[in-house]
Structure 1
């Protein structure tokens, strides 16, 4: 039996039905009690047979039985009260109040090698449009097109985002983790009774895929395919066989660009360009046998948020295990992807880019030729839209008085997910996210730490320090 239901008495309160998952450590159980009582795990003293419950104890040896009442002692975190008189300066605030004042959310407790999940959640939580779409997700689900496990994971994501927004203290993502493992059993793999480290990129991709199915089917959502609009990248590819001269065009949609790392790649842009050209072997109808085809791809539609994955992990055949590329690859705070785009998309980006240049010129006090922008109307740059649309690089926003919002192909860095360590199957994942107030925060599980923007681009690899594994960029838009 992997679960037990017990009651827990704390002070004058009794919590009658608390579930223990005996495949997890007692620390996870303490995180559940933290959610119920507000007593941090390190302050909890839980009486069991033989003494106090230890974080790393083995449940079968502890001997807790179904229906048993446990006694817990410990004081909850104090509730921060507003001062009755006089101003309160930020540096004089209690630590938790400073966290709220800075405008960033709470950390997430590590439930046992769940840093890959915590860092993924923190990066995606920094996307306000995704939070808005989840808030509008109906409690009963989006209809018959979404399976129950996808619906449950979508609800759990929504609820976790809400918890992060309303809390200053760390949050235990217990429900989210349980539903994630139910939907994707690979994240529940055990090794010697402990949960294994998993790949953050795989968690990121699976979570976005699930949300895309749920939010797309939601009748209450203004955007028919929210996740695709926010993160979807459309490629158009020319597939050519040099032997036979055969040629075809393919289209595909993905959620991230790949930065392939080799000895020649020193910068993100070089890796992205290399990733657009590849070779594949497939059957040639003209030759009647397999042949080598060259696939040359270009971006044909851009999203509101551009995700880049550094391909640092690969399978090493000689040792039959996953290995990590430690090579340093620099990446910018501002990314221009114009040279990665198709001719058609470049034409669509011409006018918005000119408008952007004109607006930046105005900010610098330069005189701008009104005709160069291609419009006689007043043009605004926008950076807080709540909607996006990949088709043609435009979107609608009611706050812009009917004007169309256009992508420019220029993006600003807003989140980095890093991996620290030399092993692909261990190490530690951390999220670095830019808040809406412009501040950068390092989310190291339950410990959020303010960072300087100039330090964010130093996570480029080359040693044992944190190195970028996923970068997320936000589109710089103009409205006409």
Structure 2
């Protein structure tokens, strides 16, 4: 930049010009200068240049060609650095000095070059290259504020769906709905229910609850302002009267896990996969966990095996349990008492379970409540039990399922290794097909990419196109605050499609940091995890 401005001072004596220096003073004393009307005799001022010497040339006129334009008479003050000349060209062309490339003898003209060495001559044509600044145009439309947008566009802009009004101790219901609403495949199946219609063997109350769930999910997607789930609540109470219990004229608080279980049971009866010849329900495909059970009686030596499908894993809490994984392992082994044919009386049997089929969404219930006879209510275990953002259930699976998981797990490891800049295994890096698998696996594990997008659009994720890995990522937490399941307060904490976490405290959605989600592990009267929902990491076939 130019750090001073040089101006011309016209002396009162004719034909003399003097320059003012950087401090704003003439380069000589003015004490001997007089007003032009003064009659005082004055000796003539000495000429700034000797009479026998030529005044140095300080101004050179050149032409400048830029693109198709030619600027024929551009004056260069060679007593100033070239940057001043570039500023002149900026006024003419709109090309900022830092973008200007001016061709001179010896290369490009630098901002601090010496003009005497550049050798610019009178009438010389200079060539300039560079892109001009874009002219800022006035916006064709005025600013659009969020509150002026349609509700559907506001939802996209805000980044999360609406909250739910508490209709009177209905936080257990609201938190359940918010967690299940985060499952895009379930929403897709509910949307298709409109075309499928009611099946002949479905009772009317289940049909009404399915329709009410579908409509409530749609309302949450289309609104930013809180939604009143009145119709859903009325139908839920009609289907399951226990949720309509009252005390002193007010509806009572209920157990959120019971609401979760009953709602999923109803949807399992109404939502069927149309492509399944066996009539497999959507809920089983999304949430069903298949167990291989070995039942053994040590006293009689009897042993039997069976399979069963459950919709959640239980984390049993005791003094020895500090982490979710420890509680899950304890839940795989239990004792039961039943009649023994060989003994002719009841005996104790040990039941060992292993997972033989994994779901798309893994639901885990922390068994925090037990029936306390003294107070005649469900008391709460406050013990802190840590849980991770990513859960690996490989060691909880049967040998048969482990073998099936080994290949997909290797593909996932290679994809994550490639992402971290590590070498991949020989098996998955030999062919381009392996590279393609790894790329899709990276997208699936990060929760982004076309694989994740297609999941929401197509409804269920076909098993023939994707494979489970046994690794799951946390997407929703339902917490309870208080000392009893039938009192206190329930809240949903849900991970959005953009990766951000939102706490749905009834009608009040609040953004949360991811590191705060795992702090809901208990140990006091603060919100603590009661139900966790994990989403599977998948890889393509």
TM-score (norm 2): 0.68
1:207 and 2:263 are equivalent in the alignment: yes
TM-superposition CA deviations, 1:286-336 (whole Å, max 9, x none): 111111110000111000000000001100134332211111111000000
Aligned residue pair count? 387
Larger Rg: 2
Q: Does 1 or 2 have the higher relative contact order (CA < 8 Å, sep 6+)?
A: 1
The partner residue of 1:284 within 340, 346, 349 is 340
Q: Distance in 2 between matches of 1:368 and 1:114?
A: 51
Q: Distance in 1 between matches of 2:205 and 2:234?
A: 11
Q: Distance in 1 between matches of 2:202 and 2:491?
A: 31
Aligned partners of 1:143 and 1:218 also within 8 Å: no
Indicate the residue corresponding to 1:335 in structure 2.
391
1:460 and 2:521 are equivalent in the alignment: yes
Indicate the residue corresponding to 1:158 in structure 2.
214
TM-superposition CA deviations, 1:397-449 (whole Å, max 9, x none): xxxxxxx2000000000000000112222100000000111111000000000
Shift of the alpha carbon at 1:177?
0.3
Q: 1:170 to 1:89 in 2, by over 3 A?
A: closer
Which stretch has the larger CA shift, 133-142 or 106-115? 133-142
Shift of the alpha carbon at 1:108?
0.3
Counterparts in 2 of 1:43-58, with a 5 A limit? none
Aligned partners of 1:108 and 1:171 also within 8 Å: yes
Indicate the residue corresponding to 1:5 in structure 2.
none
Indicate the residue corresponding to 1:355 in structure 2.
411
Counterparts in 2 of 1:59-458, with a 5 A limit? 85=141, 100-138=156-194, 141-216=197-272, 224-372=280-428, 377=433, 378-379=436-437, 380-381=440-441, 382=444, 383=447, 384=452, 385=455, 386-388=458-460, 395-396=463-464, 404-458=465-519
Q: Distance in 1 between matches of 2:431 and 2:318?
A: 45
Indicate the residue corresponding to 2:539 in structure 1.
478
Which stretch has the larger CA shift, 90-99 or 239-248? 90-99
Aligned partners of 1:142 and 1:218 also within 8 Å: no
Contiguous gaps of at least 5 residues in structure 1: 1-82, 397-403
TM-score (norm 1): 0.76
Counterpart secondary structure, 2:201: coil
Contiguous gaps of at least 5 residues in structure 2: 1-138
Indicate the residue corresponding to 1:43 in structure 2.
none
Counterpart secondary structure, 2:271: helix
Q: 1:442 to 1:185 in 2, by over 3 A?
A: same
TM-superposition CA deviations, 1:135-170 (whole Å, max 9, x none): 010267332011110000000000000000000100
Shift of the alpha carbon at 1:221?
11
Q: Distance in 1 between matches of 2:270 and 2:429?
A: 40
Aligned partners of 2:155 and 2:221 also within 8 Å: no
TM-superposition CA deviations, 1:190-238 (whole Å, max 9, x none): 1011000000000000000000100027689998421111000011111
Q: Distance in 2 between matches of 1:373 and 1:146?
A: 50
